[in-house]
Amino acid sequence: MPNHVHVLLSILPGIPLGTVVGSWKRFTARAANRALGRKGEFWQVDYWDRFIRHEEHFCWTENYIDQNPVKAGLVAEPHLWPWGSARRR
């Protein structure tokens, strides 16, 4: 998505989600700024999380993520979005 990202992941025991997200955001912000030839903030400070409670919730969330670029009018089918996991299924 051009203005946000969805990530579905599992956290290892003993590693807080905020630590994982912070590390990921720092790494990707540096890489994106370098690729774009810019400096400064890249991501907003906060993030939204959701605890996946069961298999049905996982499947619903995966479908929601896959359909996001379709709903935004960026592609006609989820597998056509080059940065999504639907292209690998």
Based on the fold, state whether residues 13 and 32 are members of the same structural domain: yes
Based on the fold, state whether residues 20 and 60 are members of the same structural domain: no
Mean pLDDT by 10 residues, the chain (89 residues): 86 94 95 96 92 95 96 96 90
Domain limits for position 43: 1-49
Based on the fold, state whether residues 58 and 43 are members of the same structural domain: no
Based on the fold, state whether residues 6 and 43 are members of the same structural domain: yes
Based on the fold, state whether residues 14 and 54 are members of the same structural domain: no
Q: What is the 3-state secondary structure (H, E, C) of 17-68?
A: HHHHHHHHHHHHHHHHHHHHCCCCCCCCCCCCCCCCCCHHHHHHHHHHHHHH
Based on the fold, state whether residues 87 and 72 are members of the same structural domain: yes
Based on the fold, state whether residues 5 and 28 are members of the same structural domain: yes
Q: What's residue 3's pLDDT?
A: 81
CB of 52 closer than 8 Å to CB of 61: yes
Based on the fold, state whether residues 11 and 37 are members of the same structural domain: yes
